[in-house]
Amino acid sequence: MNYQWPSPGKLNLFLHIIGYRANDYHYLQTLFQFIDYGDSIEVLVTDTGKVRLFTRMDGLMYRNNLVVRAAKLLQYYCWPNKKSALGADIFLNKVLPIGSGLGGASSNAATVLMILNQQWRCYLNKNILMRLGLMLGSDVPVFIYGYSAFAEGVGDVLTPVFIPEKWYLLVIPPISINTSWVFQVYKLKNRFYSPYRSMRDLLSASFSNDLEEIVKEIAPEIKVYFNYLSQYAPTRLTGTGSCIFSEFNTEYLAYQVQSYLPSWIKSIVTRGINLSPLHQKLLNYNTLIL
């Protein structure tokens, strides 16, 4: 039986950069929450040892695609000598825009690691999968973790945080932002980082994103979208991408504000969720196959 596995997006409800590490990673403090909106992935196990990706979205390079890299990393970990290694055909239905800050590539990589871990019968525990995920990108571990979380370190030190599952209006400009470029510009422009603060302090303070002004400098047209949305509700940037969002207590209010936006602005209404839909489906799947 084949399944369409969810590969959800995320929001950084706040993001603070508190230091720099020598390998081009930055130390941060951020609050991740999943959203009920994202890609889907189907995986067919093969006995060829080859990993193949099929998708209709333009611009996804095969060799450097994080989905393929994730599968090959797990393959090497499970079969280091490559003898009798299983393969996979991976079908990616891409909805999350590239460079939007919604975590699409990281989520895709995490979904592939978790599904192939089962279907290839590697049966690695979550901690090992998270360590493998960190080799692919700093956002991958939280998608493997599966719960909304306060993150420290380079994004790999996670504490579960169950926060209100509010509604969000996402505005998605047709702009792709390169994460490494944002951090390089931030490092050049900032001599001082945000101070370290306790999780309790940050959760009770006003939420903000240290990289928001840098992204606006890199892509000034994003200011236009900020101006439209911020007329109606407080607006923030998520992660290092181009997507901006506003938070609402009800679905009705989110759709009401969406109706005020010009038709040429791409936007969606979605809900924040504390348990990844991938993990929920895996729980149901595992129950069914017992």
> Which active-site residues does the annotation give?
10, 139
Return d(Cα 148, Cα 159) in angstroms, integer: 8
Contacts of 14 (CB under 8 A, 6+ apart): 29, 30, 31, 202, 207, 208, 209, 236
Q: Which of these, 65, 137, 94, lies nearest to 4 by C-alpha position? A: 94
Contacts of 181 (CB under 8 A, 6+ apart): 218
Q: In Å, what is the CA distance from 114 to each residue of 1, 64, 188, 197, 281?
A: 17, 20, 37, 33, 12
Query: Is the C-alpha dihedral spanning 205, 206, 211, 214 positive or negative?
Result: negative
Could you tell me how many helices (H) and strands (E) the chain has, helices first?
A: 10, 10
Query: Which pair of tokens denotes residue 248?
Result: 């609402």
